[in-house]
Amino acid sequence: MGDTARDKAAEPKIMRHNRGRVLAATIAASACLEGASTAETLRCARFSQEELPAPTPSPYLSALERLKWINQAINSTRYSMIIFGDSLTEGWDATVWERSLAPRGALNAGVSGDRTDHLLWRLQHGNLAGPQPKAVVLLIGTNDLAYGRSPELTADGIRANLEMLRQRLPEARILLLGLLPREESPSALLRVEVAQVNPADPRLR
């Protein structure tokens, strides 16, 4: 199975038709770019007793090529906002992006198939090397659940990325988006696990 097929399989079906919800939240974040520092440490402890996966690069060649492109973009242009994520970010409709987010100085830093440990590796290897943005949007973790990680360990992975962003971008505003619903049935395992991850999000701020 190729990289694209893997990403389509991992992407929540419902999200292929509902990226507008994420778009609305992102635009709302870009409306308040001035001010508050995020340099304070996280108030919450870890959620799981499991060992946190070490930061590691994605095994997909397409993801590594995407990493190089993002690093080049970050080093060559000053962006007001960087949006980090997986295929839900990378796969945004190009027309919508150019009309609604590109004029706001936003960079699409999504990489299809990324889990939290892949994104953390990216943050340590060039994705934060450029001028500091005014705002960062973070949407990551759904692929951790699809990979079989527990909701608690997934929340810890999100926490690790948020901690890195706060350390490296102390003056930026950070918008942490909750995971979006997966599957159609309310009782589907992934949908239940998403709901278990999301209550932790306010504690991560």
**Per-residue pLDDT tens digits of the chain, which is 205 residues long:** 444 444 444 444 444 445 554 554 555 455 444 444 445 556 677 888 899 999 999 999 999 999 999 999 999 999 999 999 999 999 988 898 899 999 999 999 999 999 999 999 999 999 999 999 999 999 999 999 999 999 999 999 999 999 999 999 999 999 999 999 999 899 999 999 999 998 765 545 4
Q: Residue 78: what pLDDT? A: 95
Phi, psi of 6 (to 5 degrees): -60, -45
Q: Residue 49: what pLDDT? A: 87
Q: Residue 112: what pLDDT? A: 97
Cβ neighbours of 77 (radius 10 Å): 11
Cβ neighbours of 11 (radius 10 Å): 20
* Total residues belonging to the chain: 205
The CATH H-level superfamily of 3-38+50-204 is SGNH hydrolase (3.40.50.1110)
Q: Residue 42: what pLDDT? A: 63
How far is the C-alpha of 81 from the C-alpha of 100, rounded, in Å?
13
How far is the C-alpha of 121 from the C-alpha of 57, rounded, in Å?
6
Q: Residue 19: what pLDDT? A: 56
